[in-house]
Structure 1
Amino acid sequence: MKKTAALTAFMRDQGYTPFDDPGFDAFRKGDVEVRFFWWSNAKHAERLGVARASLIVCPGTAERVDVSLVVYPSQAQPPRPWTEVTAQVADILATHEATLHTA
């Protein structure tokens, strides 16, 4: 399954529906909107000493949370299991939703 299809399936399971927002994989559930983009650049990551592939979660207008798609720190940086990635995203979504509904 391609990564965007896997993300869409996961987000649908969380009760979100996709919507168009150029440059992002974007989803909404009621008044909650979340955007994602994929980042990878092995040379740049090596120079900066960061993970070489990430899913960037934008749960708010000014927030960005980096979810590593690889095991890091690690020289080889093998892919993280998708279940670990989605568990981290689920935690981010729960925190974001709770923040919106208590504000």
Structure 2
Amino acid sequence: MEVWRDALDLVAAVYRATASFPADERFGLTSQLRRAAVSVPSNIAEGMARSGRAELLHFLHIARGSLAEIETQIQIARRLDLLGEDEALDEQLDRVFAKLGGFLNAIKSSHP
């Protein structure tokens, strides 16, 4: 799935972006950002492996929530001067948000 592949690319981008965070953030913002990023493709995959449409929607909503966490945590990292502007990261996040939103809408509008 394209959204899943893009979510995997987002994980790699988050790991690269957080690699330069200070060591004292290893168990703080670094860990939070990485966990949220890993959650996105993981929940897409889990939803796809489930048997029903309702379960799929549930896991896709969790993935979307994790994207919102990433977006917020990136803003926090920027306010703390841990992360500068990163157009590639921002574009990757926007791409996954858009594709996941489209996928959610398609699943919601399909017949049960």
TM range (shorter): 0.3 to 0.5
Higher helix proportion (structure 1 or 2): 2
TM-score when normalising by structure 1: 0.35
Work out which structure has the larger RCO, using CA pairs closer than 8 Å and 6 or more positions apart in sequence.
2
TM-score when normalising by structure 2: 0.33
